[in-house]
Amino acid sequence: MSTLGASSPEQSAQPVQATLMSPRRGGAPRRRTRFSPARAGVYGFLLIAALFFLLPLYVMLVTSVKPMAEIRLGNLLAWPTQVTLRPWVDAWQAACTGLDCNGIRVGFWNSVRIVVPSTVLSIAVGAVNGYALSFWRPRGAGLLFGVLLLGAFIPYQVMIYPMVRVLASVHLFSSLPGIVAIHAIFGMPVMTLLFRNYYAGIPVELFKAARIDGGGFWRIFLQLMLPMSLPIIVVATIMQVTNIWNDYLLGLVFAGTQNLPMTVQLNNIINTTTGERLYNVNMAATILTSLVPLAVYFVSGRWFVRGIAQGAVKG
């Protein structure tokens, strides 16, 4: 690729120095750069981009602690002169969905009730599938897995209506078990892929040794593989909690009015309420709804990114 002979002596001296001074892997330029216009440009761009990305968060926070009188002045970015937590309290326990004024906490607890069993179930199914596909490889399972992965790309709209009818016929439509089953079904492709790829990295000799020692399907899974799966279980939990918490469409259709998740209730509070729009309460409710996935994101950091990278390698 490079033509060494063509380079001048000064240039050839640089890489040596660069390798010595590179403390970490990756990254394009190797040498420590002093201040230069290009460098300033890099930081300028990143700073402006960071401000753009942070702007909505700032606007949400500032709006949520202003009284309505201050919001009506139309100064979106201004720091509040009078900080009030009243909108947060109202959003949590008094915001109205139609005639029902119990606040967004109703949706919060519904979402908790949906997310916990859905996450556990989808991870359990994904782990067993991945384990069976990686180590047991029953005849025809590879093809089945291929079709399952394709299923990840089918638009929900194709499947929703028949699913409603199937669930209605077994009396699970508009119920908590119904929406949990739906999340397990729609989460299955990615979860299975995640665990299959993880188990593919475990030496098959380990599995064979366990078989020689007389371990059966479930015993090897529960006593050998599951304890080794902790890292991928963490990644899967992060993914599923975030995805299911943020789901709107499935919750809207399948959960039923008694179990509407927080995202659906948030949208109802903001978009279908008549009368004066309380922007501060709305923004407080929006932050409250985003709090769980944001907390997961800020706490988990690199694990979150890992989930994206591994879930993204579809196909």
Partner 1 sequence: MGTLKPALPELTARTRPAAAAAAKAGRGRPRRARWHLAAWVALLPMLLTVVFAYLGTMLWTARVSLSNSRTFPSSDFAGLTQYVRLFHNDRWLVSLQHIVLYGACFIVACLVIGMLLAIFIDQRVAGEGVLRTVFLYPYAMSFVATGLVWQWILNPELGAQALLHRIGFTHARIDWIVDQDSVVYTIVIATVWQASGLVMALLLAGLRGIDDELWKAARLDGIPRWRVYVSIVIPMLGPSISTAFVLLFVMVVKLYDAVVAMTQGGPGTASEVPAKFIMDYLFGRANIGLASAASVVMLMTVLAILAPFFYARSRNAVRKDV
- Site residues for partner 1, 101-160, by CB under 8 A, read 125, 128-129, 131-133, 136-139, 141, 144-145, 147-148, 150-151, 153-160
Q: Which CB, 57 or 228, lies closer to partner 1?
A: 57
In angstroms, rounded to a whole number, what is the distance separating the alpha carbons of residues 246 and 237? 14
Give the total of residues touching partner 1 (CB under 8 A).
119
Give the Cα-Cα-Cα angle 97, 99, 105 (nearest 5 degrees): 40
Task: Enumerate the H helices of the chain as residue ranges.
Answer: 9-20, 37-64, 68-71, 86-93, 105-131, 141-151, 156-169, 176-200, 204-212, 217-219, 226-228, 230-246, 249-254, 262-271, 279-300, 302-312
Shortest gap between Cβ of 26 and partner 1 (angstroms)? 4
Q: Does 79 bind partner 1 (CB under 8 A)?
A: no
Q: Is 9 in the site for partner 1 (CB under 8 A)?
A: no
CA angle, 299 as apex, 103 and 283 as ends, to 5°?
30
Is there binding between residue 173 and partner 1 (CB under 8 A)? no
112 or 148, CB closer to partner 1? 148
Interface with partner 1 (CB under 8 A), residue from 20, 40, 56, 93: 56
Question: Given candidates 83, 85, 208, 223, which one binds partner 1 under the rule CB under 8 A?
Answer: 208
Smallest distance from the beta carbon of 95 to partner 1, in angstroms? 13
Cβ-contact 285, 270 below 8 angstroms: yes
Residue with tokens 């599938």: 129
**Binds partner 1 by CB under 8 A, chosen from 46, 116, 170, 200:** 46
